[in-house]
Structure 1
Amino acid sequence: MDENHSNELDEETVFLVSQTFKALSDPTRIRILNLLFEKEYPVTEIADRLELRQSTVSHQLRFLKNLRLVKSRREGTSIYYSHDDEHVINVLHEMIQHSLHA
């Protein structure tokens, strides 16, 4: 084992990892993150493409944004969302691909 790597995790790290897994445990959030894998979208288009209510999408995006898994930018009156953590989005995409080929 690498001398610089310890098996001991501090409480903040454990909390952040658990929150990330919590985010990825929700089907709606998985669908949103998967949609944002390659392109950014405004809330209205996310809701339309996933056949969800805008309020549901907005609620989930707030949760994901608080964990820094998505980011937003304003363009005129629209707010566009995209993924904000390359590592987590790649893990999600790998799990999706794994599940498709299992």
Structure 2
Amino acid sequence: MNADNSARTLGPDSQYVELAVEVFAMLADATRVRLILALRNGELPVNALAEKAGKSAAAVSQHLAKMRLARMVATRQEGTKVYYRLQDGHAWELVADAIHQAEHALGTAPHHGLAPHGTSVEAAS
């Protein structure tokens, strides 16, 4: 993607704003965030995901079904077991960024950020 396309895609008038809001809405659930964190290192079956998320297998299955419709996770069946994996790295990156933002909000992460005009604080110093 060239700079012109990137500027159009990331501008406030982007045609993707509403879809981005839907992605954030999908991630606005602690169980789904936990599932993404659990899947960051590879695929897992529902029972293992339920244990990691601290929820019932039925509840996790419902969350995974929504995440599958949103194309955040994909499946592979082996016998009677269904294994889930992240579709791509995008959901993981969003969750990681949100966790880093939470660390900053709590003051537990080193300071860095953006200065005016989008330059990093370190570069502006």
Alignment of 1:1-102 (within 5 A): 2-4=3-5, 5-6=7-8, 7=11, 8-10=13-15, 13-100=16-103, 101-102=108-109
Give CA deviations for 1:35-77 in whole Å, capped at 9, x if unaligned: 0111211001111222211111011001111111111110111
Unpaired segments ≥5 residues, structure 2? 110-125
Question: What secondary structure is seen at the aligned counterpart in 2 of 1:9?
Answer: coil
Counterparts of 2:4 and 2:36 in 1: how far apart (Å)?
36
Identity across aligned pairs (percent)? 29
Distance 1:95 1:62, change over 3 A: same
- Give 1:9's aligned amino acid: S
Question: Displacement, 1:19?
Answer: 1.1
What is the root-mean-square deviation of aligned Cα atoms in Å?
A: 1.8
Counterparts of 2:48 and 2:76 in 1: how far apart (Å)?
15
Unpaired segments ≥5 residues, structure 1? none
Normalised to the residue count of structure 2, the TM-score between the two structures is 0.70
Equivalenced residues, count:
99
Normalised to the residue count of structure 1, the TM-score between the two structures is 0.83
Give CA deviations for 1:21-45 in whole Å, capped at 9, x if unaligned: 0111111110111101112110011
Contact 2:49 2:60 in 1 (8 A): yes
Counterparts of 2:22 and 2:58 in 1: how far apart (Å)?
22
